[in-house]
Amino acid sequence: MISAGDFRNGVTLEIDGNVCQIVEFQHVKPGKGAAFVRTKIKDIINGGVTERTFRPTEKFPTARIDRKDMQYLYSDGDVYNFMDTESYEQIGLGPDVIGDALKFVKENEMVKVCSYNGNVFSIEPPLFVELVITETEPGFKGDTATGATKPATVETGAQVAVPLFVNEGDVIKIDTRTGEYLSRA
């Protein structure tokens, strides 16, 4: 059990039968009246974010989220197949669970499969990936003052904004959380 006074960002807990994660929290002590905790909580299963306030003494059970390393094998229509590299057990997940998580993930790469009570609810890609640029327009010197970017398509089909000096065939490093170009690899 965790009390509302001990809330921290990233804590997962069960509120009213739903598995939620604390996105933001703020302890508020008004001049008059009792203190309270103002939070933004994200429902892990459906992704909705709501704002709620709690008394610091309210207690909630912590939710145990299992994160398992699995290898992304391939997609077969609307089914994405993953394999546990220890037991070689395979699972297939639908696009409702995957969302945009595999936007920067190539086949045979490792991802984290997140589940609660055996039900998979999301996929966490690696934080940084290196991908080859398959298509981009050539950049010309003198086009800009500083920091200009151009659109590029990487080998997974995702679009990324890259600096003008990056060309087709270059390997680039991408932050999968933001989808931003970091550097050439």
- Structural domain harbouring 92: 66-124
* Domain boundary, last residue among 13, 31, 60: 60
The answer to whether residues 138 and 179 belong to one domain is yes
Neighbours of 105 (CB within 10 A): 21
71: Cα within 13 Å, side-chain hemisphere: 12
- Residue found under tokens 């395979």: 90
Rounded to 5 degrees, what angle do the CA atoms 12, 16, 19 make? 30
The answer to whether residues 137 and 165 belong to one domain is yes
- In order along its 185 residues, the chain shows pLDDT tens digits of 888 888 888 788 888 888 888 888 999 898 888 899 999 998 887 778 899 999 988 999 988 888 899 999 988 888 989 999 899 999 998 887 787 888 888 888 999 988 888 888 788 889 899 999 999 888 766 655 567 788 899 998 889 998 888 888 899 999 888 888 888 87
What burial class does residue 71 get, using C-beta atoms within 10 Å of its C-beta: 0-12 exposed, 13-18 middle, 19+ buried?
A: middle
Cα–Cα distance between 123 and 104 in angstroms, integer? 12
